[in-house]
A = this chain, B = another copy of it.
Amino acid sequence: MQKLKEICMVDLVVAGLVAFDDVSTPHGSVEKAMGGPGCYSSVAASLFCRTGLVGVAGADFPAEYTKVLESKGVDLAGLQVVEDKTFHWKGVYEGDMNAAQTIFTRLNALTQFRAEIPAQYLGVKYLLVTNFDPEIQLELMKQTSAVVAMDTMNYWINNTREKLLEAIAATDILFINDAESLQLTGAQGLEGAGAELLGMGPKQVIIKRGAQGSMLFEGSEVFSCKAYPLEQVVDPTGCGDSFAGGVMGCLAAGKTMREAIVYGSAVASFNAEGFSLDRLREATPESVGERCEAIRRLTSF
């Protein structure tokens, strides 16, 4: 009999939070909307490959939200549902909407999360560990021999720097935003930060720059990708997660890293056009492909 890990039914596992988001931007607001890196990343990835989600939700997470994930093809074998409320975040975007101001973060169900990749996912080739306590990230990473990508945030740089460095040393691909890359390395510019981060262990470092696009660092090579230009950003929540999910979904589908980054940018641009997953859900491989071509026209010569 073949071992389970050899007949893995997904190409990519996304480990990430499932959340309620209260978000307010100059264009409106939502309450208890579906959110969290797990939802954004897995829905983005499932445009390109078979994706499984490992995360935790509270008993109050609506069946309606779970159905959205399922309807997009996300496998929920790894979604733990516990007797608690769902993780809940409230944030406000003002001005140029570069970063949200957090009003509250209620961990709720997250405190009961078991950092466990289900047996049927253990043979997976790609694992995306979105923003979590680096301790959890390390725990997840060591369970598979997959190509591992991780994301992080300023909180862990400030509070658990040593553990974070350990996680970064263990990952193959690091996603990090521009401000955090400078904060973590102390570098003056993104080129310097990218080089420093490569020195910490990852084979590939991807610095996210929001509306400015992204940069890939690999060996001595740098790739600079434009964001798809939008008339209006309605809500940037989840754009970094949609981007990472899109990138990893495309890698798992056999695209090159540069192509994957362009696709990730295109997916993230859809996400920014609506609150919660409203617009991301509507993206199709075709509509994403069209935006990739627009990015190509924007930069090719």
Whether A223 lies near B299 (C-beta < 8 A) is yes
Give the distance to chain B from A23, nearest Cβ to Cβ, in Å: 23
By beta carbon, the residue of chain B nearest A301 is: B258
Complex Cα distance, B261 from A258, in Å, reads: 23
Q: Which of A10-36 contact B (CB under 8 A)?
A: none
By beta carbon, the residue of chain B nearest A262 is: B301
By beta carbon, the residue of chain B nearest A299 is: B299
Whether A261 lies near B297 (C-beta < 8 A) is no
**A256 in contact (CB, < 8 A):** yes
List of B residues within 8 angstroms of A91 by Cβ: none
List of B residues within 8 angstroms of A159 by Cβ: none
Contact partner of A229 (CB less than 8 A), chosen from B222, B229, B256, B296, is B222
Contact partner of A301 (CB less than 8 A), chosen from B221, B223, B229, B301, is B223
The 3 closest A-B CB pairs, nearest first, are A258-B301, A299-B299, A224-B298
- Interface, chain A (partner B; CB < 8 A): 191, 221-226, 229, 256, 258-259, 261-262, 296-301
Assuming A191-B229, A256-B301, A261-B301, what are 5 further A-B pairs, CB within 8 angstroms?
Answer: A221-B297, A222-B298, A224-B299, A258-B301, A259-B301
